[in-house]
């Protein structure tokens, strides 16, 4: 039986990191920016996860809405999350399409 490719394990670890980081972002929003958190539909990782809150979170991150809040730490976190997400997508599609033969 063949072992899963290394990149598979890297992507799995990245998903876990994403869950942790997005939970931190939601907690920061809830505690420091409750009005924005409420406007987004009070998103959470599992309990209040719907298409509406998912879209609001995506818009918040990729629309750079966090910059209007004036919270430097939150902006740094959100900008890092966008870069992380793009890297994840490149690696994921690279795995699926076989662009990284040494890792897959």
| Cβ neighbours for 52, distance < 8 A, ≥ 6 positions apart | 41
104 occurs within a structural domain: no
**1 has pLDDT over 50:** no
48 occurs within a structural domain: yes
45 occurs within a structural domain: yes
Average pLDDT, the chain: 88
1 occurs within a structural domain: no
Please write the tens of the pLDDT for every residue from 30-53: 999 999 999 999 998 887 677 888
What is the domain extent for residue 53? 6-97
User: Which pTM was predicted?
Assistant: 0.84
Structural domain count, the chain: 1
Contact 33, 74 (CB under 8 A): yes
103 occurs within a structural domain: no
**87 has pLDDT over 90:** yes
- Residue 56: pLDDT band by 50, 70, 90 thresholds? very high
């Amino acid at each position: 039986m063949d072992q899963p490719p290394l990149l598979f394990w890297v992507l799995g670890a990245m998903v876990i990191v994403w869950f942790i980081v997005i939970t931190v972002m939601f907690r920061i929003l809830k505690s420091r920016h409750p009005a924005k958190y409420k406007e987004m539909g009070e998103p959470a990782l599992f309990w209040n996860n719907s298409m509406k809150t998912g879209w609001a979170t995506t818009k918040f991150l990729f629309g750079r809405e966090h910059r209007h809040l004036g919270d430097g730490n939150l902006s740094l976190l959100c900008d890092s999350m966008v870069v992380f997400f793009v890297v994840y997508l490149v690696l994921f599609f690279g795995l699926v399409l076989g662009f990284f033969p040494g890792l897959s």
